[in-house]
Structure 1
Amino acid sequence: MIETILSHRRPFLFVGEVLRVEPGVEAAACSNVPAADLAELGYPTDRVPLWYIAEFMAQTGALAVLAGRTGEKTLMTGIDSLELIAQPLPDLPLRADVQILQERRGIGKRVGTVWQGETKLATGVIWYARQ
């Protein structure tokens, strides 16, 4: 299901499992943060970078935006108030919960939280453009 909605492919596909999707409303997903993929992208494998968390949140939100649509994609156009609350540990699963706040004429924003177990790692607002 993931690859039929998102155009991303390994090593840039960060969503590993979809937990729930309500088209146009919200999505939740898991990512396994594979150290091998971070190494392939040229990043140290001893921690999870903030850009990974932001992109994982954006991809999870894209599931909610694009579910039920064909031939469309979203582009991350901005980040508001992304706050790293705790440093994630590598090779432990992450979970993102993302809700769409608004969309007008294909431009929208979504708010999300990323968790590792019961620990809240990050929260923020991601702007997107739907094409």
Structure 2
Amino acid sequence: MIDIQSIIPHRYPFLMIDQILEIEEGKWAKGYKNVTINEWFIAEPYNCMPSMMIVEALAQLGAFATMSQENSLGFLSSLNGIEFLGNAYPGDRIELYYEVVKNRRGFVLGKGKATVGNQVIIRAEEIMIYIQGS
């Protein structure tokens, strides 16, 4: 099992990845987030995970895919081409995938998608992460 907290500094309540399933360092990563009714962001009238929190989960996965040093920090730098196609509700498992497109001078450009079951709920054409200390 991969220790997520040894690589990225996020902790509860802002750690949005529960498990890393597979990784090819510097190229791509797969992980998931289980949405539970006890999440701090689940509230009436919208009992679903906010879409931007799922985008944050993709960014965290992207930082994880590219950071191999404990002293590095990854920051979400920019987004482009984000499509919100569905929602994730308590009881859902969000499958996350981030693929590195470019990695130059600490700026990592990648694309990602989040799915629930077989339905894509978020597609991101560009998620840029700045890795400090790399």
* TM-score, normalised via structure 1 length: 0.90
Aligned counterparts of 1:34 and 1:52: Cα–Cα separation in 2: 14
Instruction: Write the mapping of 1:46-125 to structure 2, written as runs, cut at 5 A.
Output: 46-66=47-67, 68-124=68-124, 125=126
Deviations 1:58-87 (CA, angstroms, capped at 9, x unpaired) = 011111111x32311110011111101122
Instruction: Report the count of equivalent residues.
Output: 128
Q: Which runs of 5+ in 2 are unaligned?
A: none
Q: Which runs of 5+ in 1 are unaligned?
A: none
* TM-score, normalised via structure 2 length: 0.88
8 Å CA contact 2:107, 2:129 repeated in 1:
yes
2:20 alignment partner in structure 1: 18
8 Å CA contact 1:21, 1:63 repeated in 2:
no
Moved segments of 4+, more than 4 Å: 42-45
Aligned counterparts of 1:34 and 1:18: Cα–Cα separation in 2: 18
CA root-mean-square deviation: 1.6
8 Å CA contact 2:61, 2:98 repeated in 1:
yes
The alpha-carbon deviation at position 120 of structure 1 amounts to 0.7
